[in-house]
Amino acid sequence: MNLRRWFLFPSWLWMAALFATPLAIVLAYSFLTRGVYGGIEQPWTVESYQRLFDPLYLSIYLRSIVMAIASTGFCLVLGFPAALFIASSPQHKNLYLQLVMLPFWTSFLVRTYAWLFLLRDTGLINSALQAMGIIENPLPMLYNDGAVLLGLVYGYLPFMVLPIYATLERMDPSLADAAADLGARPLATLFRVTIPLCKPGIIAGSVLVFIPSLGAYLTPDLLGGGRTVLIGNLVQNQFTTARDWPFGSAVSIILMGLVTVLVWAFLRRESENLA
């Protein structure tokens, strides 16, 4: 099995040098002191971790978590019926799936920018409403929490639709028929048969949306105009403008830890379900 060792070697090397080492350095930095001109200095300290509990930062984590939950919730509510439609349509399934995937394949930056273009004061929505005489002054739709949430939902919606679709597709359609035969109305069948059976897909989709929403940087920066500060922006800010690398590192470690625990819990659940 010499060949296998040679084949795995480049990826080992790359992951060790450009994934594990950088994270180890961030971990080390998080226990050091901020230098006078930025950068890092001795002595070793846990000060950065103590500062994490500053109410100012606590509100940022809280806001990020609320934002990620809201984004997951909206994706679920918007994505589930779409997945149901695709799974229950007699033909053109592949076409519909490709329609869901196509925006995902094109640029995330472009998709975020599209909303900047539509929501700005002179954007299409405001121009149209003004032309119809519904409003006089443009509505301030951009650079607020709502715009950021919209951007997150729009960006990660495919991540919710695909796993739910995959679960629905594997489901035995005769179960829903049986419920109907036993007198369940369509909505009762949906809520008491289809949705409970679809739980694995819903959980997978939720994890796939929650994680990138929690660590989002680009969407809050572009659509929030720097006014909606989430964990991702906090990290970036500490490494650039604030030049407080130890604190930025501590925030990164916490964020990383949170994501790891979530994924670990999800994978554990998955393997239990399979066993």
Q: Residue 140 has what DSSP assignment?
A: -
Q: d(Cα 24, Cα 40) in Å, to the nearest integer?
A: 15
CB of 192 to another protein, least distance (A): 15
Instruction: Pick the piece of the chain touching another protein (CB under 8 A) from 68-76, 101-109, 174-182, 196-204.
Output: 101-109
Q: Does 188 bind another protein (CB under 8 A)?
A: no
Which helix (H) or strand (E) segment holds residue 151: the answer is helix 145-170
Q: Which stretch binds another protein (CB under 8 A): 48-56, 82-90, 162-170, 191-199?
A: 82-90
Q: Per the omega criterion (within 30 degrees of 0), is the bond before 43 cis?
A: yes
Does 255 engage in binding with another protein (CB under 8 A)? yes
CB distance 68 to 155 below 8 Å: no
Residue 203's contacts (CB-CB under 8 Å, 6 or more residues apart) are: 266, 269
Distance, CA of 153 to CA of 150 (rounded, Å): 5
Return the residue of 232, 244, 247, 250 that touches another protein, per CB under 8 A.
Answer: 232
- Please answer whether residues 52 and 254 qualify as being in contact, where contact means their C-beta atoms are separated by less than 8 angstroms: yes
Considering only residues 113 to 132 of the shown chain, the ones binding another protein according to CB under 8 A are: 113-118, 120, 122-124, 127
Q: How far apart are CB 76 and another protein at their closest, in Å?
A: 13
Can you tell me which of 35, 47, 236, 270 binds another protein, judged by CB under 8 A? 236
Residue 162 in contact with another protein, rule: CB under 8 A: no
Binding to another protein (CB under 8 A) within 128-157 occurs at 154, 157
Selected binder of another protein within 215, 228, 229, 250 (CB under 8 A): 215
Any idea what DSSP says for residue 43?
A: P
